[in-house]
Amino acid sequence: MYFPFSSKNLIFELEEINSTRRIVLPKLETDLNVLSYNLFLYPREDIYFGFWKEKERAEFLGKSKFIKNQDIIVLGRAFDTNARNTLLNNLNLEYPDQTEVIGKTKYGWDQTLGDFRQQINNGGIVILSKWPIQEKIQYIFKNHGCGNDTLYNKGFAYVKIKKENQIIHIVGTDTQSEDSACSDLGVNARTDQLIEIKKFIDSKRISNKEIVLIAGSLNVNKSNQFEYKNMLNILEVNEPNYAGIHFTWDTQKNKIAAYNNVYYSWNRTSNYGEYIFVSKNHFQLPVWQNLAYDPISPTTWKRENGYTSYEFSDHFPVYGFIYADSSTPTKSGHRRKYDQVSLIAKYTGKAVQVDHNRPDGWLKADGTAEEKGTEFTKFNLLQEYDPDSDTFCMLGGRVRVESSQYLNYFWTWWLRGGAGNYAYYPKFDDGSKLLEMIIIRQGCLEDESLVVFKDFDTFWKYYYFLAVWETGSWKDYIYLWYTNAQPNSYFIVKLNTLPERDWSKDLIYR
């Protein structure tokens, strides 16, 4: 027999067993897990972003481990119908209660509020739950924003969920993104949309005995203290304890973000804009944490032009939870064995490096001892024919060599006249497809392995070996030149053996 009892913001039950009563604390205080993820799944009709193998990425995402064992998942920018359905079907067994995507139809919702527009793209937000959804409302922002966002019915999904004996309310959203087509990069539209969210929550008159969460791409950069503090004040939410990676949109780590940043000449800096907040005005958890994480797909995918990647999205997800435990990530999920590899010219002992001032400058084997530790002397190796995105045994064969400093810039050689003919440089999204690495002692590529490279000369129709030029004004430049490997053709491989950053000290454990 149970008697409900409440004190301040905590809910208790008095359990009567053999005429003896004891207080039973709600289980939720030690167990609530939420994931928010901006998926970057645009429809093919979108001329800017609709060509990133949406269905394949959704397929791999639905089978991934990091998306499992959550109570609630908020998905953003799940615009593409085929990709979205693929993902939701794969997740249906663990998360059987799912909303429709907002902005597509009024069918399947208890209410549709705001300014729903017909014959326009959906708003991309879907909420998935392990627990029964008791109420679901879609709200389309009255301020439709600016730039590319105006093409979509953006807003938020609200759901009321019952987990055991606790009611959880969650608003999942994707507000106005930063857009150069907006006069103020979208700040005013975003602020108006945050106010719309808060007014809706107030209108629900939710009991202070129930949890209220606001999750999604709020698109306010945490490092912009003025706008960040303004967001917290408007929404009346607590600042969570932050852990994990530094950015949720990272042009130095995420290949899709880096690609778009260059391709569209955005020149934006990395930022943190994904959050899972707890309302100040409702049930208060003992602690609340946000952990930004950077998973990669274990299987690569390939665009029509041959571009190969292992990113799930251009954004990284955020976990929201109370206490950390043994399953909580404490290190990056993005690091690969053959990322940030150094190549030391055996003949001179100097490191191969990219130009410090321009991403497509010439490659030179002139890196000093001081420069050997910089990103300019680091390269990411990938064998595009191998579907394993993080192989632990790379063998000899064709290889894509990417600058760690300038993502999506791949090794290739010049043949447009001048003394630079056959000299190597990193080219954006257009590396040599026939570059081969030969491991001298065969077997797996390991730290201190000795290698040579050869490539196919498409003009003379013959394979030649790469070598470091020894004299003159082109000394230390790397050329495609010899029919046989020369003493200056050999490179010593140095794998990245630096320990990964461990953020366990930033987490709060029970």
CATH code: domain of residue 468 = 2.80.10.50
Of all residues in the chain, what percent carry a pLDDT higher than 70? Answer: 94
pLDDT for the residue 210: 98
Q: Positive or negative, the Cα torsion across 366, 371, 375, 379?
A: positive
pLDDT of 24 strictly over 60: no
**Domain match, 103 and 242 both:** yes
Give the end of a domain, one of 291, 319, 335.
335
Task: Dump pLDDT digits (tens) for 92-122.
Answer: 999 999 999 999 999 999 999 999 999 899 9
Residue 503 falls within a domain, yes or no?
Answer: no
Task: Dump pLDDT digits (tens) for 73-99.
Answer: 999 999 999 999 999 999 999 999 999
CA distance 194 to 219: 11
Residue 214 falls within a domain, yes or no?
Answer: yes
Contact partners, residue 171, CB within 8 Å, separation at least 6:
156, 157, 158, 197, 200, 201, 212, 213, 214, 215, 216
pLDDT for the residue 442: 87
Give the end of a domain, one of 308, 335, 362.
335
Contact partners, residue 122, CB within 8 Å, separation at least 6:
79, 101, 102, 103, 104, 152, 153
**Domain match, 197 and 268 both:** yes
**Domain match, 200 and 236 both:** yes
**Domain match, 21 and 75 both:** no
> CB of 305 within 8 A of CB of 358?
no
What HEC string does 227-275 produce? Answer: HHHHHHHHHCECCCEEEECCCCECCCCCHHHHHHHHHCCCCCCCECCEE
CA distance 228 to 222: 6
Residue 244 falls within a domain, yes or no?
Answer: yes
Give, in degrees to the nearest 5, the angle at Cα 494 between 359 and 372. 50
Q: What is the mean pLDDT of the chain?
A: 94
The band of 341, judged by pLDDT with boundaries at 50, 70 and 90, is very high
Residue with tokens 């053999």: 18
CA distance 428 to 425: 10
**Domain match, 305 and 238 both:** yes
**Domain match, 330 and 350 both:** no
pLDDT for the residue 372: 86
CA distance 44 to 47: 7
Residue 202 falls within a domain, yes or no?
Answer: yes
**Domain match, 192 and 280 both:** yes
- Structural tokens at position 355: 């130009």
**Domain match, 41 and 13 both:** no
- What values do phi and psi take at 299, rounded to 5? -120, 135
Give the end of a domain, one of 335, 370, 388.
335
pLDDT of 430 strictly over 80: yes
Quick one: average pLDDT of 327-332?
A: 98
pLDDT of 369 strictly over 90: no
The band of 260, judged by pLDDT with boundaries at 50, 70 and 90, is very high
Quick one: average pLDDT of 19-41?
A: 71
The band of 28, judged by pLDDT with boundaries at 50, 70 and 90, is low
Residue 384 falls within a domain, yes or no?
Answer: yes
**Domain match, 66 and 194 both:** yes
The band of 30, judged by pLDDT with boundaries at 50, 70 and 90, is low
Residue 312 falls within a domain, yes or no?
Answer: yes
CA distance 279 to 239: 10
pLDDT of 201 strictly over 70: yes
> CB of 353 within 8 A of CB of 373?
no
Please give the residue that has the higher pLDDT: either 20 or 311.
311
**Domain match, 419 and 313 both:** no
**Domain match, 99 and 112 both:** yes
Residue 507 falls within a domain, yes or no?
Answer: no
CATH number of the structural domain spanning residue 220:
3.60.10.10
| Weakest-pLDDT range from 21-35, 77-91, 326-340, 361-375 | 21-35
Number of domains making up the chain: 3
pLDDT of 158 strictly over 70: yes
Residue 348 falls within a domain, yes or no?
Answer: yes
Strand-pairing partners, residue 216, are 173, 275
CA distance 341 to 353: 11
pLDDT for the residue 370: 86
pLDDT for the residue 184: 95
The band of 373, judged by pLDDT with boundaries at 50, 70 and 90, is confident
**Domain match, 270 and 367 both:** no
Q: Which domain holds residue 193?
A: 31-335
> CB of 468 within 8 A of CB of 486?
no
Count of positions (residues) in the chain: 510
| 81-91 and 54-62 helices, crossing angle to 10° | 10
